[in-house]
Amino acid sequence: MRPTVLCFSGLDPSGGAGIQADIESIGCSGAHAAIACTALTIQNSQQVFGFEATSRELLLAQANAVVNDLPIRCIKSGMLGTTDNIAALVEFLQEHPDYQYVLDPVLVANSGGSLGNLETLVQAFQALLPLATLITPNTVELRALAAEDDLELATQKLFKLGAKAILVKGGHEDTPDHIRNALYINGELVAESRCPRLEGEYHGSGCSLASFIAGRLAQGDELKHAVQHAETWLFGVLQHAETPIENGQKIPKRF
């Protein structure tokens, strides 16, 4: 059986982000995706209307059901929704220290909608930072997690809090013609990528990138190579993204 990524993520009915983004992206990477569902959200490509989080017990029961059943090589988390779910994931990862882990520290949807209580999530995320092989914040999430506006200082602060590797995604920065991502390992900048900024807003681009990386790590790729491969793949997927009927955020075309 293909190496498996077990995702802790939420359902987005639009299919742009969340569980569907994870399944499609991990499939595209060549790995198999398994899911422990953290929340059911109510949203479309334009806005979030609300969500109901899975209980901690139900979340752990889902994950534990597949642990000895599938060849899990990597964990990926996206929307966790509650501090209880974050604590459950910490407990799960501590029980499985051999798994690689990609942490996409989702705080709000790209459309701006709430996916949990910002303040308590930021606090609870601190316990996950040292457990991750790679953390993939956009610059809004990075500044919030570090409580620091300067991006270089914020990145170094996460390393002080135990991070091992960080991919800083520059999509939210004011660079009109390009997007710059920067990969840091153990505090050192090891790779930079620049791609032209595509027009419009995209729903689920962060989920897709983190999941594809997790899929490549599950198959044995080295971290830097997995990130570069995922960035190239994501650019193609966003170039072919489809625009919903009422001009909502574009939905990546992952196949």
Tokens matching residue 199: 């027009």
Local structure of residue 36 (DSSP, 8 states): E
Query: Does 105 interact with ligand PLP (rule: CB under 6 A)?
Result: no
Candidate list 20, 45, 193, 205; residue touching ligand PLP; CB under 6 A: 205
Query: Does 145 interact with ligand PLP (rule: CB under 6 A)?
Result: no
Query: Does 204 interact with ligand PLP (rule: CB under 6 A)?
Result: yes
Residue 245 CB neighbours (<10 A): 7
CA–CA distance from 194 to each of 177, 178, 191, 223, 228 (Å)? Answer: 10, 6, 10, 18, 11
Candidate list 106, 132, 218, 226; residue touching ligand PLP; CB under 6 A: 106
Candidate list 63, 75, 135, 207; residue touching ligand PLP; CB under 6 A: 207
Site for ligand PLP in 16-35 (CB under 6 A): 17-18
CB of 76 to ligand PLP, least distance (A): 11
CB of 120 to ligand PLP, least distance (A): 17
What letter represents residue 19's amino acid?
Answer: I
- By beta-carbon proximity to ligand PLP, the closer residue of 108 and 165 is 108
Tokens matching residue 142: 């990075």
Which stretch, 103-111, 124-132, 150-158, 165-173, contacts ligand PLP (CB under 6 A)?
103-111
What order do you get walking across the sheet with 32-43 strand by strand? 48-53, 32-43, 4-11, 72-77, 100-103, 134-135, 165-169, 178-185, 188-196
Local structure of residue 130 (DSSP, 8 states): G
Distance CA 219, CA 4 (A): 8
Query: Does 53 interact with ligand PLP (rule: CB under 6 A)?
Result: no
Query: Does 121 interact with ligand PLP (rule: CB under 6 A)?
Result: no
Query: Does 170 interact with ligand PLP (rule: CB under 6 A)?
Result: no
Tokens 């135990």: give the residue.
162
Buried-state track 95-127, b at ≥16 Cβ within 10 A, e below 16: eeeebbbbbbbbbbbbbebebbeeeebbebbeb
Which stretch, 146-154, 171-179, 188-196, 203-211, contacts ligand PLP (CB under 6 A)?
203-211
Candidate list 5, 6, 12, 128; residue touching ligand PLP; CB under 6 A: 12
Beta strand 4-11 pairing with 72-77: parallel
What residue ranges bind ligand PLP (CB under 6 A)?
Answer: 9-10, 12, 17-18, 41, 43, 78-79, 106, 109-110, 115, 203-207
